[in-house]
Amino acid sequence: MWPLVAASVVGLAIVLERFVALRRSRVNPPGLLRVVLERLRAGETPVALAAELSDHSPLGRVLAAGLRNYAMSRAVMKEAIEDEGRAVAHELERYLTTLGTIAVISPLLGLLGTIVGMIEIFASQGATANPQQLAHGISVALYTTGYGLIIAIPATVFWRHFRAYVEDLVVEMEQAAVRLIEQAHGERREG
């Protein structure tokens, strides 16, 4: 039962931390790209703007990678953005593997607890088994399976939710990065 308690505490901590860390306003602040493009048009140097953006947000880090290579070719700028984007995506997925593992192992831990409980019940009964004690022992042993499922079901839901949410955030970052590249190389005019 203690491993299940530990799994539930760790799972809850991850869910709460991810809700805070993955707020859209923190990861992809609205209007950041528009502000960057306006400041570039106003004559601010890309390198100075990159220095400011690199600590701003995950999207800021991706845009800063492009701005540091603003005068380079499209391929170099795109490669720098992709490299930083992979690092940012990895950070956004932090702890999700652990949450997925908790979702998978919780029912197994519960089942293990049930099996151990059943072994103890049958071993303690001997040749003269009391049916009422046996039934009570079996019902108590099944609690761990129930607790395992109670932990696994929400953990699975949150794990899938956060994976999809991170994918959405990464797509938004990619779209912003493409707009910055197109703007830098004169392929798109912002209106």
The pLDDT of residue 167 is 96
The pLDDT of residue 127 is 66
Read out DSSP for the chain? -HHHHHHHHHHHHHHHHHHHHT-HHHHS-TTHHHHHHHHHHTT--HHHHHHHHTTT-HHHHHHHHHHHTTTS-HHHHHHHHHHHHHHHHHHHTTTHHHHHHHHHHHHHHHHHHHHHHHHHHHHHHTTS--HHHHHHHHHHHTHHHHHHHHHHHHHHHHHHHHHHHHHHHHHHHHHHHHHHHHHHTTS----
The pLDDT of residue 43 is 87
pLDDT 10s per residue in the chain (191 long)? Answer: 889 999 999 999 999 999 999 999 999 999 999 999 999 888 889 888 999 998 889 999 999 999 999 888 889 999 999 999 999 999 999 999 999 999 999 999 999 999 998 888 888 777 677 788 888 888 888 999 999 999 999 999 999 999 999 999 999 999 999 999 988 887 554 44
pTM of the model: 0.83
